[in-house]
Amino acid sequence: MNLNIAILPGDGIGPEITEQAVKVLEAIAQKFNHQFNFNYAEVGGAAIEKTGNPLPEETLNICKESDAILFGAIGDFKYDNDPDAKIRPEQGLLKLRKDLGLYANIRPTAAYEPLIHKSPIKEKVIKGTDFLIFRELTGGIYFGDKSTSADRRSAQDDCAYTAAEVDRITHLAFKKAKSRKRKLTLVDKANILETSRLWRRRAKEIAKEYPEVTLEFLFADTASMQLILNPRQFDVILTDNMFGDILSDEASVISGSIGLASSASIGDHYAMFEPVHGSFPKAKGKNVANPLATILSAAMLLEHFDLHEEAEALRQAVEKSIELQITTPDINSNEIHHTNDVGEFISDYIIDKKSSLYNAENIDLGQSTII
Ligand code: IPM
Ligand code: MG
């Protein structure tokens, strides 16, 4: 297959982690005889520095001309600590999601066997967890009208949804649930919010088209508790933009680190793959950031193009790196492995299992020729 992939490294650790994911995609291309072309473009703080715009027109065009987009991370202290900044890196990501119509953000959570003991949650609670969050990504409070009064003593963010916005992601979530454990949980605050009541009405209506799927409802506050108390009860969670943002960070604790949380942002015409985590500016350039979330997002990219065998090979290599503890400090306090060691091991393992394992042993002995 020939794929043009836009690479948007962004800020902070973004460039380091996307570099590893590109390496891994190159290994997949080599192993399975595909042609992947990578087109780099600026976004976020990096783009503001150069052009004054967090999403330059050129970047948007590169994305539109590509088959898929792989996104790193954006954000910087400089803007986080300045509530008055008019131009912010995050605007680049939000505009990208909106302009490309990426309305469904799919965020998987699974408990990795070798990491179960690393989670602050008890093993018996998280073992066997496997659910997906379908987060609506182009509506709600993120995109509603915003205002601050002239005296700057009051501010407002509107939350709005239309039935059409709710319906399209609800159908996707039902279809997915139908192919899995056939349970869909809608998370909202229907006891308080009008928008949530719209979500419930639409979900109930659409449920009639998917009689094999059980539809359940949970308030977001209860859901945040249930996610930790009994995560195995979930199969597919459907929720709005804001609740999805919050719950997916919480869910990452189950896997052992947010550095493992991957995602796919899907629309009718474009698809983007991005880690759930942020730009971790403190770690920028230190070669310690976990590249697995971006690498696993690349696996979602492969699956999007029905390259299932390739995605499986990638996932197996990731699992091997976790099993052998060729992982970064967030999930490995025993040995020191850097961001690029992880990317190298995974791409080597994809190409040639045997010699990568030999190299890995030598890395541990400090004798490898590749470090
Ligand atoms: C995410 C991030 C983004 C969001 C930020 C960086 C704008 O937290 O993808 O979850 O809030 O959607
Ligand atoms: Mg978030």
State the average pLDDT for the chain.
Answer: 95
- Residue 263: the pLDDT is 97
pLDDT tens, position by position, 87-130: 999 999 999 999 999 999 999 999 888 889 888 999 999 999 99
pLDDT band at 369 (very low <50, low <70, confident <90, very high): very low
Task: Give the integer Cα–Cα distance in Å for 221 and 234.
Answer: 15
Start-to-end CA span in the chain (Å): 32
- Residue 233: the pLDDT is 97
Q: What is the DSSP string of 216-228?
A: EEEEHHHHHHHHH
User: Does residue 90 have its Cβ closer than 6 Å to ligand 1?
Assistant: yes
Q: Mutate which of 11, 90, 105 to test ligand 1's pocket (most atoms within 8 Å of Cβ)?
A: 90
How close is the Cα of 263 to the center of ligand 1, in Å? Answer: 11
pLDDT band at 353 (very low <50, low <70, confident <90, very high): confident
pLDDT tens, position by position, 256-300: 889 999 999 999 999 999 999 999 999 999 999 999 999 999 999
CA separation, residue 170 to residues 77, 127, 142, 209, 313 (Å): 36, 28, 19, 11, 31
How close is the Cα of 216 to the center of ligand 1, in Å? Answer: 26
- Residue 354: the pLDDT is 83
pLDDT band at 365 (very low <50, low <70, confident <90, very high): low
CA separation, residue 248 to residues 47, 71, 133 (Å): 27, 17, 7
pLDDT at 220 over 90: yes
**Strand 264-266 vs strand 271-273: parallel, antiparallel, or unpaired?**
antiparallel
Closest C-alpha residue for ligand 1 atom 1: 276
pLDDT band at 366 (very low <50, low <70, confident <90, very high): low
pLDDT at 232 over 60: yes
Q: What are phi and psi of 147, to 5 degrees?
A: -155, 155
% of the chain with per-residue pLDDT over 90: 88
Report the Cα 278 to chain-centroid distance in Å: 10
- Residue 371: the pLDDT is 34
User: Does residue 75 have its Cβ closer than 6 Å to ligand 1?
Assistant: yes
- Residue 227: the pLDDT is 97
Among the bound ligands, name the one nearest to the CA of residue 297.
1
Closest C-alpha residue for ligand 1 atom 11: 245
178 in Cβ contact with 236 (< 8 Å): no
pLDDT at 68 over 50: yes
Closest ligand 1 atom number to CA of residue 74: 6
For residues 371 and 173, the model is more confident at 173
Report the Cα 359 to chain-centroid distance in Å: 30
**Strand 2-10 vs strand 68-73: parallel, antiparallel, or unpaired?**
parallel
User: Does residue 258 have its Cβ closer than 6 Å to ligand 1?
Assistant: no
Token code pair at residue 86: 């008019």
- Residue 363: the pLDDT is 61
Q: Is 347 helix (H, G, I), strand (E, B) or coil?
A: helix
How close is the Cα of 241 to the center of ligand 2, in Å? Answer: 10
Count the Cβ atoms, other than its own, within 10 Å of residue 351. Answer: 16
User: Domains along the chain?
Assistant: 1-102+267-371 (3.40.718.10), 103-145+158-262 (3.40.718.10)
Single-letter amino acid, residue 78: K
Task: Give the integer Cα–Cα distance in Å for 226 and 259.
Answer: 22
Mean of the pLDDT values across residues 297-306?
98
pLDDT at 149 over 50: yes
- Residue 28: the pLDDT is 98
Mean of the pLDDT values across residues 128-137?
97
- Residue 364: the pLDDT is 58
User: Does residue 136 have its Cβ closer than 6 Å to ligand 1?
Assistant: no
pLDDT at 188 over 90: yes
% of the chain with per-residue pLDDT over 70: 97
pLDDT band at 360 (very low <50, low <70, confident <90, very high): confident
Token code pair at residue 165: 């916005």
pLDDT tens, position by position, 19-46: 999 999 999 999 999 999 999 999 999 9
